[in-house]
Amino acid sequence: MRANYKIFASVSAGIAVLDQLTKLAVTRSLHPYEAVEVVPGFFNIVYYLNKGAAFGILNQGGVLRKLFLIGVSLAALLLLAVLARQSRDRLSILAFSLVAGGAIGNLVDRIRFGSVVDFLDFHVASWHWPAFNMADSAITVGVGLVIFSYFFSRHE
């Protein structure tokens, strides 16, 4: 079980640090809501402040919204740590670690700024995906690995 915590702590911390470094680069290079076209018609780097959750859900509200989202993040982190501790499957431990690292990265933003810095902006013609960040990517990959592990790994 101790090895699980080492993996969980290392991967989670690494993801959170990577997320914060990429956001630092964006916030030092751009003004809020400024965009830089990287691949014309497909990809921009933007500096977007997301006060809500994924896709701008819960974007309205003040201190209560912020406290609610911080509370949900802390509860999720506790649950992920427990799941990682109990898991015997390395893929699941990695998955929980990715989700936790992403949650930590976004939690740091929420505490510091009251919003999350999003900067990856993909679009094709009139289709536009909501801006996201490295933490969101880690959470998405982690959830995908949890699902994969559930269906394809041996369970005891």
- Give the angle subtended at the CA of 99 by the CAs of 65 and 38, to the nearest 5°: 85
Q: How confident is the model at residue 98 (pLDDT cuts 50, 70, 90)?
A: very high
- Cβ neighbourhood burial of 100 (10 Å; 0-12, 13-18, 19+): buried
Q: Give the three-state DSSP class for 109.
A: helix
Residue 141 pLDDT > 60: yes
Residue from 19, 109, 118, 121 carrying the catalytic annotation: 118
Per-residue pLDDT averaged across 61-86, rounded? 82
Average pLDDT rounded to a whole number, residues 4-12: 90
pLDDT for 114: 84
d(CA 3, CA 32): 41
Phi, psi of 66 (to 5 degrees): -60, -45
Give yes or no: 136 in active site.
yes
Told to judge if 118 belongs to the known catalytic residues of this protein, a careful annotator would answer: yes
Contact criterion met (CB below 8 Å) for 133 and 118: yes
- 3-class DSSP state for residue 52? coil
Residue in 19, 109, 121, 136 annotated catalytic: 136
Q: Rounded to an integer, what distance in angstroms lies between the CA atom of residue 66 and that of residue 18?
A: 23
